[in-house]
Amino acid sequence: MRAIVYSQTGDPSVLQLVDRPLTEPGPDEVSVRIVVSGVNPTDWKSRRGAAPGQTLPFDEVVPGQDGAGIVEAIGTGVQHVSVGDRVWLALSAYQRASSGTSQEHAVLPAERVFALPVNASFDQGASLGVPAITAYRALTVAEDGPVQLHPTALAGKVVLVAGGAGAVGHAAIQLARWAGATVVTTVSGPTKAALASAAGAQHVLTYSDPDIVDHIRAVVPEGVDLIVEVAPAQNAELDLAVIRNRGSIAVYANNGGDQVTLDVRRHFALNVRYQFVLLYTVGFDVIRAAAEGINAALADGALGVGEENGLPLHRFDLAQTADAHALVESGAVGKVLIDVTAE
């Protein structure tokens, strides 16, 4: 079978297309024929490492955390999926040398494999994983909020999504709207504003607007209930200016810098909660719960992809994986997908 591998860190040129033998799933493992693979920033960051030539944890790595495909075989102990099922995958390559989705057939732990609802496409399935689970986690960590999403879970709540045109921001808008929230989002300009609106945000603002605090407060005078934050270093002052008493700020990225300066007294006064979100160490019980909620949203038609849904798709063949990585690394807006095998 065809697979993409790399044996050293570096730029996209370290990715190589090779032929590898098929392997059978062991206990609690599932073999999936990958139809579509999704590329995330975490994929190119893992490939680059801290520096070119950095030692890898394995001699050779197959990249790709997310994807969708069809179950080909199951190991002993697997009960939640069967041969022939359509599935989506999350964290496929985490701490695994050969389980990534940038290959025609992947064998991975069953806990990383989720049934794909009948009304959902492989493109949707490959666009979930890291972005959707991150968004789901961010929406379920508030002190006064739900731990599980459903169509009325966030009714009466106002959610501010920073960077609503990004993959996580896009999923956060869709999930929050599905759960009944009013969604305010910030973007850099008109093009991204159109995408955030297409995703379902009711109030789309430009984050560089000097009056942005006033605009947000006009929507929600008493303050925002929950902020899904991509750039805490840049947005700490804004977040504090618009958060309500006992509001929560869920941070899932460090765009704009690693160091954040907080006014302790003002945060004390508002009882603000900061919650940091990293899927790799959050625990698979949390990921499993998120996947259940995401599947419910999918079944309700709430997680559409494509430009008409605010998430343009960029497609590549498996042999073009290096180009796909380069596009994501360049900061392209939308979702980069790799067509691996035919449906």
CATH number at residue 118: 3.90.180.10
Computed on alpha carbons and rounded to an integer, the radius of gyration of the chain in Å comes to 20
Same domain, yes or no, for 121 and 143? no
The tokens describing 125, both together, are 């399935």
Instruction: Look up the pTM and report it.
Output: 0.96
> Tokens 């869920």 — which residue?
250
Q: Please indicate, yes or no, if residue 296 is contained in any of the structural domains.
A: no
Same domain, yes or no, for 139 and 274? yes
Burial class (CB in 10 A: 0-12, 13-18, 19+), 8: middle
The phi-psi region of residue 297 (left if phi > 0; otherwise alpha if psi is between -120 and 50; otherwise beta) is alpha
Long-range interactions of 208-216: CB distance < 8 A, separation 24+: 212/186, 212/238, 213/238, 213/241, 213/242, 216/160, 216/184, 216/242
The tokens describing 132, both together, are 């959707």
Q: What is the pLDDT of residue 300?
A: 97
Burial class (CB in 10 A: 0-12, 13-18, 19+), 264: exposed
Q: What is the pLDDT of residue 336?
A: 98
Same domain, yes or no, for 33 and 95? yes
- Total structural domains in the chain? 2
Query: Are 43 and 325 contacting, i.e. CB atoms less than 8 angstroms apart?
Result: yes
Query: Are 66 and 303 contacting, i.e. CB atoms less than 8 angstroms apart?
Result: no
- What whole-number distance in Å separates Cα of residue 40 and Cα of residue 338? 11
- What whole-number distance in Å separates Cα of residue 154 and Cα of residue 61? 40
- What whole-number distance in Å separates Cα of residue 268 and Cα of residue 273? 10
DSSP state of 14: G
Same domain, yes or no, for 239 and 328? no
Same domain, yes or no, for 25 and 121? yes
Residue-by-residue pLDDT tens, the chain, 343 positions: 999 999 999 999 999 999 999 999 999 999 999 999 999 999 999 999 877 778 898 999 999 999 999 999 999 999 999 999 999 999 999 999 999 999 999 999 999 999 999 999 999 999 999 999 999 999 999 988 999 999 999 999 999 999 999 999 999 999 999 999 999 999 999 999 999 999 999 999 999 999 999 999 999 999 999 999 999 999 999 999 999 999 999 999 999 889 999 999 999 999 999 999 999 999 999 999 999 999 999 999 999 999 999 999 999 999 999 999 999 999 999 999 999 999 8
- What whole-number distance in Å separates Cα of residue 280 and Cα of residue 213? 34
Q: Please indicate, yes or no, if residue 184 is contained in any of the structural domains.
A: yes
Q: What is the pLDDT of residue 173?
A: 98
Same domain, yes or no, for 49 and 170? no
Q: In b/e form, how buried is each residue of 271-297, taking b as 16+ CB within 10 angstroms? A: ebbbbebebeeeeeebbebbbebbbbb
Alpha helix stretches (DSSP H) within the chain:
41-48, 122-126, 129-138, 167-178, 190-199, 212-219, 232-242, 264-270, 284-299, 321-329
Same domain, yes or no, for 100 and 229? no
Query: What range defines the domain where residue 181 resides?
Result: 132-279
Other CB atoms within 10 Å distance of the CB of residue 96 = 18
Question: Could you tell me the end-to-end alpha-carbon distance of the chain, in angstroms, rounded to an integer?
Answer: 16
Alpha helix stretches (DSSP H) within 144-187:
167-178
One DSSP character per residue, 269-282 reads HHT-EEEE--GGGT
The residue out of 255, 279, 303 marking a domain boundary is: 279
The phi-psi region of residue 86 (left if phi > 0; otherwise alpha if psi is between -120 and 50; otherwise beta) is beta
The tokens describing 10, both together, are 């570096």
Q: Please indicate, yes or no, if residue 261 is contained in any of the structural domains.
A: yes
Same domain, yes or no, for 143 and 273? yes
